[in-house]
Structure 1
Amino acid sequence: MSAAEHRPFDHRTLLVVSTNYAPEMTGIGPYATQLAEHWAASGARTQVLTGMPHYPAWRVDERYRGAWRRRETREGVSVYRRRHYVPSRQSALRRAAFEVSVLAHGLLAPPPGRPDAVVSQMPSLAGGVMAARIARRHRVPHIPVVQDLMGAAAAQSGIRGGGRAAAVAAAAERYALRGAALVGVIHESFVPGVTALGVDPRRIRLVPNWTHVAPPSAERAATRSRLGWREDTPVLLHSGNMGLKQGLDVLVEVARLAPDVRVVLMGDGNQREALRELAGSLPNIDFVPPAGTADFTDVLAAADVLAVTQRASVLDMSVPSKLTSYFVSGRPVVASVAGEGGTAEEVRRSGAGVLVAPEDPAALLRAVRALAADPAAADALGAHGPRYVARHLGREAGLARYDDLLTEALGEARPDAPGGAPRDAQGRPRR
């Protein structure tokens, strides 16, 4: 029975706090959007407190420039946008100014009314703190979902001044998480970090991200021709945010080492211009804007190899959301990441890629050439991705886990639970 049919949250008022939301198409924005729209379809009066669209370009969308506050209705969801500072370049000080501006304006002008529960998406410190304060003010459950650990990110990502910021970020995370009714994490590798912030492990629930894009539909050869990619030239594609933690200079070095390989960086981010400068006049590297929703996975599927990269220091603070889209495309993934981190574990679990040492362009290039030299093996490896998505990353199953999380926090029984008993976020009846 679908959520819309039994409307489990009818007459409930739910507040989702997420710095990112539609029309942003990458990062956590699509997850916050689909979650809020799902709950609106489930009968809830759903509100979203968010910022002005700015990610991954770290520039405010031109349709929102100059706006101080804005209220929109999108697919039955009341969206309250608040203006905030958007740094074009990243440093610990600029990131702090961003977070403070989000927090101050959000607390100054929260959505009207009293919610029954507050759910926050937390790579944003401000979003987590703001949601915790709103929930405490109204004495309702707060349910933060950890997509990134910002304290660890400050220490591991290489951002200027990050070491000094890590303790402050961890303190904000501790404030947001310790008083929560339940805490969701998108990957089990986050559990030790969340526990270290003072959260009882019994209150942690696993709520993995789902794939939010459609499978490819166009002919691969036709897409390559449209993009100007020659059939006899291997294409290594990275899609998504171009930030510090990605360590994308390794792909620039691959292009420098291998004139016979075309490296494509598709997306935007605060390191884009620095990467362009590093690439100089290399003829075999392209910087292209994000593909539109209609042909995004067609572009991914047209590449020979998809790259996910992280700095060697990134271990337990992030699992890239791009992986769910990569797996849908059916192309093999080469992950230049620390072997003990959550990203590496997800690639291993999917069976759809290979791991190489981080920040090692020669190792990455060897893996790309091996896959390009054996197209049948590359196709077979990539084919594991859609199967993994079908088994574990479906949208319906992902949203159902959030329904369970919310139901448990509200102390209610879901209509489809055995005997009417409430269930935890893994679908098990609560004892």
Structure 2
Amino acid sequence: MKFLLYSLNHYPELTGIGKYNGEMVSTLVEMSTDVSVLCAPPYYPEWKIKREYASFGYVTETSDDAVVYRCPLYVPSNVTTLKRLLHLFSFSVSSGLRLFSLFKLKPDLVFLVQPTFFCAPATLLYCKLTGAKSVMHIQDYELDAMLGLGMGGGKIANFLKKVESWIMSKFDLVSTISYSMIDNARTKGVPDSKLLLFPNWADVSFVTPDTAYESFKERLGLEPADKVILYAGNMGKKQGLEIVLDAAESFKERPDLKFLMVGAGAHAEVLKGLAKQKQLTNMLFLPLQAWDDVPAMLAMADIHLVIQKKGAADAVLPSKLTNILAAGGQSIITAELCTELGQLAEKFPGIYDLIEPESAPALVEAINKQLANEETGHNLVARSYAEENLDRNKIIDRFLHDVQAKLSF
């Protein structure tokens, strides 16, 4: 099969969609799939294009035996709603022009990752002209996330929803990463015959509970007896990470308790400024860590945090959770019961502690509860779930089989 991945994000981004795309491509190549990639230069989560890609132009390179076509885009230093829309639109224009120069590729399948939905019309036209089959893979419902955070409403929102439903119905298949997101696609009018589950994964053989972390902890300047509460991932507005700072302030009298914030994002500098104002000497900010250090970082944490605002958890299943589960982490998740995260907590009791979003008191209570838990150590429920459901090769192989069966390749 000749496979064209069309996505805003790709390797060497170390987190989020770019990470999953890079791992998917390398696995597909290992499975003897002919893969090409149409994407932007790496910029996420720092919201700054990496230095080696800084020139504003088109770049063609080879990575993991896949040809990668990089397209320029606008990356705002200060992300606002309008600037984010311009950012997404700029990629749709530049990548759309590049897409229509690639007729000679003649792919069997074009795999468009949402975000960005702006690229959907060009994808459908390209597939019609080349005879390729089309798959829209939804990592994040852009419109739902926007409306969930109060951006837009009324007649405009209803019109956009109709456009979204119409475009989604034109794809040969629509895949997404969770059962609740499958249900969402169904409510948008996508028939069951076109729906596929394609969940995110973890490297369960690389990220394990037994990874030695002592030297990594020492390198960070932490004491062996320190308890580490870890948030690792994107630091954007939709996370609502201010409650972590409020929780850290509540534990100022616990010198052995350290809040570790690892990552980058559009809201990172704001959070650092707030932490400085609150004089949080028990909070440490670090950039994204090298992938080789991730297993040690995850194994080191006594408590993991997955923080989101209300509404955002309905639209997005956080990618950071898969590796936390693989590491057998004890974790606290902010989400409502009706979300995918809530359903998973009910189906697998003990996999993590689910608490009310946007509530610093609830977070403090959950941290105290986990610190008081005498059954310390690995979360066996989390690790068992990861081994059975999050193995990368199994997930990608099953997805390819399902696509070929539905599209008669």
TM norm structure 1: 0.86
C-alpha separation in 1, matches of 2:58 and 2:375 = 52
Change (3 A) 1:378 1:95: same
1:145 alignment partner in structure 2:
137
C-alpha separation in 2, matches of 1:222 and 1:373 = 26
Mean Cα displacement is larger for which, 394-403 or 109-118? 109-118
Change (3 A) 1:219 1:339: same
C-alpha separation in 1, matches of 2:223 and 2:152 = 42
Which amino acid counterpart does residue 28 of structure 1 have in structure 2?
I
Change (3 A) 1:340 1:131: same
Within 5 Å, give how 1:75-86 maps onto structure 2. Answer: 75-86=64-75
Q: Does 1:384 align with 2:348?
A: no
Deviation by residue 1:26-69 (Cα, 9 ceiling, x = unmatched):
10112212222333333333111000101111111111101411
2:397 alignment partner in structure 1:
400
- 1:225 shift after superposition: 2.4
C-alpha separation in 2, matches of 1:277 and 1:163 = 32
Which amino acid counterpart does residue 245 of structure 1 have in structure 2?
K
Mean Cα displacement is larger for which, 55-64 or 163-172? 163-172
User: Which of 220, 227, 230 is residue 213 of structure 2 equivalent to?
Assistant: 220
- 2:240 and 2:308 in contact (8 A); partners too: yes
User: Which of 106, 109, 113 is residue 95 of structure 2 equivalent to?
Assistant: 106
Deviation by residue 1:244-294 (Cα, 9 ceiling, x = unmatched):
211111101111111123211100010101111222232111110111111
C-alpha separation in 2, matches of 1:169 and 1:35 = 31
Q: Does 1:58 align with 2:50?
A: no
Deviation by residue 1:179-238 (Cα, 9 ceiling, x = unmatched):
111111210101232123221123211111111472246423343223222344432111
C-alpha separation in 1, matches of 2:6 and 2:235 = 24
Within 5 Å, give how 1:125-144 maps onto structure 2. Answer: 125-144=117-136
Within 5 Å, give how 1:259-274 maps onto structure 2. Answer: 259=252, 260=254, 261-274=257-270
Within 5 Å, give how 1:417-428 maps onto structure 2. Answer: none
Change (3 A) 1:225 1:44: closer
Which amino acid counterpart does residue 190 of structure 1 have in structure 2?
M
* Unmatched segments (≥5 aa) in structure 1: 1-8, 413-431
Identity across matched positions, percent:
26
1:293 alignment partner in structure 2:
291
Q: Does 1:210 align with 2:201?
A: yes
1:242 alignment partner in structure 2:
235
Q: Does 1:41 align with 2:37?
A: no
Deviation by residue 1:330-353 (Cα, 9 ceiling, x = unmatched):
220101222221123334445321
1:275 alignment partner in structure 2:
271
- 1:91 and 1:162 in contact (8 A); partners too: no
Change (3 A) 1:89 1:172: farther
- 1:162 shift after superposition: 4.8
C-alpha separation in 1, matches of 2:216 and 2:375 = 22
C-alpha separation in 2, matches of 1:335 and 1:175 = 34
Which amino acid counterpart does residue 180 of structure 1 have in structure 2?
F
Change (3 A) 1:326 1:79: same
C-alpha separation in 1, matches of 2:166 and 2:66 = 28
Q: Secondary structure at the match of 1:384?
A: helix
C-alpha separation in 2, matches of 1:168 and 1:68 = 35
- 1:14 and 1:117 in contact (8 A); partners too: yes
* Unmatched segments (≥5 aa) in structure 2: none
- 1:327 and 1:385 in contact (8 A); partners too: yes
- 1:122 and 1:146 in contact (8 A); partners too: yes
Deviation by residue 1:387-431 (Cα, 9 ceiling, x = unmatched):
11111110111111221233134313xxxxxxxxxxxxxxxxxxx
User: Which of 332, 335, 350 is residue 334 of structure 1 equivalent to?
Assistant: 332
- 1:16 shift after superposition: 0.8
C-alpha separation in 1, matches of 2:318 and 2:152 = 20
Within 5 Å, give how 1:86-105 maps onto structure 2. Answer: 86-105=75-94
- 1:74 shift after superposition: 0.7
- 1:175 shift after superposition: 4.7
Which amino acid counterpart does residue 172 of structure 2 have in structure 1?
A
Q: Does 1:411 align with 2:381?
A: no
Change (3 A) 1:377 1:172: farther
- 2:145 and 2:311 in contact (8 A); partners too: no
1:3 alignment partner in structure 2:
none
C-alpha separation in 1, matches of 2:64 and 2:168 = 30
TM norm structure 2: 0.91
User: Which of 249, 263, 268 is residue 256 of structure 1 equivalent to?
Assistant: 249
Deviation by residue 1:139-180 (Cα, 9 ceiling, x = unmatched):
32101111111111001135xx45588557645643542111
- Matched residues, number: 397
Q: Secondary structure at the match of 1:43?
A: coil
Within 5 Å, give how 1:2-13 maps onto structure 2. Answer: 9=1, 13=2
Within 5 Å, give how 1:107-122 maps onto structure 2. Answer: 107-110=96-99, 111-113=102-104, 114-122=106-114
Q: Does 1:155 align with 2:147?
A: yes
C-alpha separation in 2, matches of 1:379 and 1:303 = 10
1:372 alignment partner in structure 2:
371
- 1:210 and 1:398 in contact (8 A); partners too: yes
2:300 alignment partner in structure 1:
302
